[in-house]
Structure 1
Amino acid sequence: MLKSLARFALVGAAALSITSGAIAQEFSFKFQSSDPAGNPNFELKKDWAERVKAMSGGRLEIEMLPVGSVVEHNETQDAVSAGILDGHITDTSYFAGKDPAFGLIANPVGAWSDPSEMLRFVEYGGGKELMNELLEPRGLHFIGATTPGLEAFISKKPLDGVADLKGLKMRAPEGLVQEVFAAAGAAPVNLPGSEVFTSLDKNVIEAADYTVFSTNQAQGMHDVARHPVYPGFHSMPLVEVSMNKDKWDALPDDLKAILEVSVRDFARDMTSQLAMKDLVAVAEARKGGDITIHNWSAEERAKFRAIAKAQWEKVASRSDNAQKVYDVLTKYLTEQGLL
């Protein structure tokens, strides 16, 4: 009898082990980031992937790959659609060349003064629906968004207002961001984030729209560009978390819910942690004395925003999708008293 019970227990344990193993390997995805390995933003993305694994009891595993691991930063949309990648976490601006609507929804330059404004638009103001109208016909599903926050501005030259942008050789993402800076008199060029430091160091560019102050500081940007503008006056990118639509559709509802909730938490995690890091980094930079931080006046910020708003309408006229983004966005901004 005891031997029979022992055999039963062993069979049961083996079955449980097989079941647990099957559950642990139920879904395994590769997501590519637009950030390089070691970048604080990339580390936060890896933390998100670990939380997804824990929340799903190991049923859903996501491997986060740094920029350029499989394809270039502006090729991930096609790679996800084709199933070469399962998903990506990236600045939507990179796909403005496919439809100007991507540039407008990703970074309506001058629209946002705080991450919460943009994240509310995505979740409750029509942004999520717009993103899926843009992405699902291309074979992707938009899960949610995060943002590093209101970006600082990297510069080798003192910048105290719009007039100082004239002729400035600078890096800016594709689409609306480039057009706004060009309208303000700058000379923007398209470079991946991984080339910003080298391009500044070799004087290929004099300034860059890149990311938040603390990340710029951590990556040594201020060692070669000692005149940052903080708080930023310009840019707060929508960083999309999207995946292959067929693979999304194949997920059970509970894992879909875990992904959606985890991305909302990821957004809070990223914006909060980077804002805290910014305050520490700014204090350290000021204490060091080698960096001059420039804070634009309200008047100069208003001048730049007026230039940006004029470009929104121009972009809206270029495609039906862009016009729809413009209509939904300006309606939200007006209703919320932000326009």
Structure 2
Amino acid sequence: MTRHSLAAATAIGLVLSAGGVAAQTTKLSIQNHQAPESTSGRMIADFVENVTRMSGGDIEIEMFYSASVVKSAETFDAAATGILDCDMTNGSYQTGKNPAFQFVADTMGGYDSPLEYQAWVNVGGGREQINALYNPFGMTFIGAAVGGQESLSSTRPLNGPADLEGFKFRSPPGMESEIFAKLGASPIVMDFTEIFTALETGIIDGADASSLANNVGLGIYDIAKHTTYPGFHSMSADHLACRTEVWDAIPDAHKAIIETAHRAMAMDLMMNTLVENGEALATLPDQGVVVYDWSAEDRATFRAAAQDAWSEWAEKTPETAAIVQSHRDFIKRIGLGE
């Protein structure tokens, strides 16, 4: 299915409608890293259906779930080189190319809600900053989708920052580990599949796994009887990014349909995550799980540690410095910080 040419990649052409008027068609191949039965996976399926309906079938999307064509971390490059047309995974996979990708994927302590992050993208200059990063790699950023804050799970209390001292927990690599280490925790980078055994054997005290609803679904609270909610530390955003030559060749009307459908998908993801987290929260007392809602002061402590890490990362590349400053300016603009 390798795309050797622009025409083959996008399959943009002319067909005659029933009235004899020429109509343009667009075909796109896109890979995501979500399971089709997950909340995000269901929203992606709705996105594809909405694009088809709004375009009257003139836009055809071949969507690949669960990284079924190439590995998740290879999706961006696969789109850039023509194996796929678009990438619907996560910018964090590209931090090896430039640390600035971290601040597209997850600002870690930057925003309290997904709506604030979306505001930065859509009205706060974020889109322009992201495309300044993506364009040199031959990719164009279309939009972001983020459900909400993730919740820490733990086998011991998590009342506030003081309880992070010596807290051994599963963490993804990168900036998150650095932030929690500053607060006295002991992050341990391990594969997602190793969490349960590590919790059961006491290798770790807790885990940064996913949202409250997903943690319930995964059965994490069968072992870990303490959790933070609402979350405060991590809010991972997936992107839709397409090869620039493909995106530029798409008719403006089709671009508008794709952009509108994707923005609707992002809103649906926020709403569904909110509802599912609330439903999950109601089940926790029966499971004996204690829920910790950190105070504004405690959240500020975490944000201060995050800001220190931001400053260190901003020194890595000019692009990282620019996008970090963009976030800081917007955070101040909306009254979240100084």
| TM-score category, normalised to shorter length | 0.7 to 0.9
Cα 1:319–1:151 change in 2 (3 A) is same
AA matched with 1:123? N
Q: Offset of 1:200 from its aligned partner? A: 4.9
Of stretches 53-62 and 179-188 in structure 1, the one that deviates more from structure 2 is 179-188
AA matched with 2:122? E
CA separation in 1, counterparts of 2:63 and 2:224? 30
Cα 1:254–1:125 change in 2 (3 A) is same
Please say if residues 35 and 42 of structure 1, whose CA atoms lie closer than 8 Å, have aligned partners that are also in contact: yes
Question: Which string of whole-angstrom CA distances, capped at 9 and with x for unpartnered residues, describes residues 44-73 of structure 1?
Answer: 122212111111111222233233312222
Please say if residues 146 and 240 of structure 1, whose CA atoms lie closer than 8 Å, have aligned partners that are also in contact: yes
Please say if residues 73 and 192 of structure 1, whose CA atoms lie closer than 8 Å, have aligned partners that are also in contact: no
Q: Offset of 1:201 from its aligned partner? A: 5.9
| 2:323 corresponds to | 325
CA separation in 2, counterparts of 1:329 and 1:220? 35
CA RMSD of aligned residues (A): 2.7
| 2:136 corresponds to | 137
| 2:12 corresponds to | none
Q: How does 1:34-45 map to 2 (within 5 A)?
A: 34-45=33-44
3-state DSSP class of the match of 1:93?
helix
3-state DSSP class of the match of 2:329?
helix
Q: Offset of 1:190 from its aligned partner? A: 4.5
CA separation in 2, counterparts of 1:73 and 1:275? 26
Cα 1:196–1:188 change in 2 (3 A) is same
Task: Report how many residues are paired.
Answer: 322
CA radius of gyration, larger in? 1
AA matched with 1:75? E
Which one has the bigger strand percentage?
2
| 2:306 corresponds to | 308
| 1:247 corresponds to | 246
Please say if residues 112 and 118 of structure 1, whose CA atoms lie closer than 8 Å, have aligned partners that are also in contact: yes
Q: Offset of 1:253 from its aligned partner? A: 0.8
Gaps of 5+ in 1: 1-14
Of stretches 170-179 and 53-62 in structure 1, the one that deviates more from structure 2 is 170-179
AA matched with 1:320? P
CA separation in 2, counterparts of 1:23 and 1:142? 26
> Does 2:230 align with 1:231?
yes
Scaled by the length of structure 1, the TM-score of the pair is 0.85
Scaled by the length of structure 2, the TM-score of the pair is 0.85
Q: How does 1:1-339 map to 2 (within 5 A)?
A: 26-190=25-189, 200=199, 205-286=204-285, 288-339=286-337
Q: Offset of 1:91 from its aligned partner? A: 2.7
CA separation in 2, counterparts of 1:151 and 1:63? 30
Gaps of 5+ in 2: 1-15
3-state DSSP class of the match of 1:74?
helix
Please say if residues 170 and 205 of structure 1, whose CA atoms lie closer than 8 Å, have aligned partners that are also in contact: yes
Percentage of matched positions with identical amino acids: 36
CA separation in 1, counterparts of 2:217 and 2:267? 21
CA separation in 2, counterparts of 1:173 and 1:89? 20
Cα 1:39–1:188 change in 2 (3 A) is farther
CA separation in 2, counterparts of 1:115 and 1:45? 17
CA separation in 2, counterparts of 1:197 and 1:60? 43
AA matched with 1:117? E
Please say if residues 17 and 23 of structure 2, whose CA atoms lie closer than 8 Å, have aligned partners that are also in contact: no
Q: Offset of 1:130 from its aligned partner? A: 1.0
